[in-house]
Every structure is written in structure tokens, then in C-alpha cells.
Structure 1
Amino acid sequence: MKPFIPVVRALILEDDRILLLKRSASSRTNPGLWELPGGKLLNGETLDEALKREVYEETGLIVSPIRVIGAFQQDFPFKVSVNIIFHVKVEDGILSLSDEHEAYKCVRIWEIGNLKVSPWLSDFKESLDGSKNII
């Protein structure tokens, strides 16, 4: 049986646009695909702590979680990733990418369908279709 790995993701929403990051082409998981900022928990971290750390490491932004807005699973040959998506508030910082990502975009929900995204993000987008309020 493959292990389930919890992953926290941040929905950063500004002016009806969502911040997406493009994984580097050399990434072990989801290379070249678009996703929300976030990542795996370190040993002993709470969801909040991991979310703040991962978003800061990947974007240079300081965020605080507002609420959980969804959870989506992605199967890999070696693990199952459970992506827990938080709506967050940006408190401070200047957007700058880590080596894990090669680009960023701010897009509207409907534009996600025009991008090559991680499978879990596609599932998340489908859950939002037809919804006027995502948060």
C-alpha cells in the first residue's frame, strides 16, 4: 500500500485572480505543470505552520490561513498526495520564486482550463465550475 502524504496548498486570490506557479521541468512530481503554492509537512509541523513555511519558501509571501476550501487526492507510483487547499490572506512580502518553479501567473478560475495543470488542480477547478463564490 502506498503512503498518504498530506500537502498544504494556498489559494491566493486578488482581484478575482488566483496565483499559480509552474513546476520546474526537472521536478520529480508534476514537472512543467501549473499548481497552487504549497508542499509537504515537515515532521511535527501543524498544517498552518507548513502552509506558511511552504508559501514563503516558494513565493517570498507571508500568508495567514483563513479557512480550508477543499481537499483533493493525486495518485503517484510511490505515494498518494492529499492536497488540502486553504484560502489565505497575504500579510506581507514581495513575490519571488524558488528553484522549484520556473514561472507564475495570476489567472481567473475559468482560465485554469487553458493551462496544463496538476491533476488535483484540475479536479479543484471542476469543483468550482458554476460556483459564483469560491471562498
Structure 2
Amino acid sequence: MVQTSTPQKLSPNALTDLDNRLSHRFIELDPGGYFLIYLDRENSVICAKHFTNVINDKGLACDPETGEPLPCEGGVQRQHSYVYTGRTAKELCIAIFESSDRPCPVTMMDHAAYLGREFVRAELALLAGQEYVQD
């Protein structure tokens, strides 16, 4: 029998600190591409723009056309490959992961888990009328 330990209960501030620390860990990038997630409040949907990339030998995401590393913040305007939308996190996940129209653009399980978490955060912000900023 496998035993698991129960994590200790944390205060809301400690949970926020834990989440912030976990957001700064190293992650391998998905060669299937990346998403920019935002809310379209006028249409009450969560949007996820998919962009292709290649991963170079240093683990950096690069523009597939130029081979140049993609900056982490602003600066480069790229054309997305597709925009997925959903009224809920679940609807958006189904559009991305279960579509028969196109191959799934996500190739790594940790990327899929990250997207699920972000889509739930976006849905909650949409419902509450709050700002959403992708982690």
C-alpha cells in the first residue's frame, strides 16, 4: 500500500506565497507552441491565441521562421496560428484538446495542466468582472 502525506493547511497569504514561488520554477517549453490567454468581455468568452515555436538547443522558444529567440515581454508582433474560445474553462479545454478539426497543439502534459489552471483563473475573473493577467 502506498502512503501519502497530507499537506499542512496554509493561510490565504501563505497559499498566495506558495503559488508565487511555484510560478517562478524552471519549466521546459512545449515544442507545440504557446498560448496568450485573454478575456473578450463583450462576447463573454475566454480566448487563447496559439502561436507556433521551435525550441533551440538552449531550451529557448524561437520563431520558426527566423530561428530567433522570442522575447518574454512585448516587442515582437507575430501572427497566431489559431484563436480558441470558450464560455467556460471546460469548453475551452474541449475546443483545444478534443477538436476533430485540427491536431492538438499541446504536446506536453505539464503544459496541458498549466493551461487548465489558467483557463479556470480566467473563467473566475470573467464571472467576477475582475481583471485577468496570465501567469
Task: State the TM-score, normalized to the length of structure 2.
Answer: 0.35
Larger radius of gyration: 2
Greater helix share, 1 or 2? 2
Name the structure, 1 or 2, with higher relative contact order (CA <8 Å, separation 6+).
Answer: 1
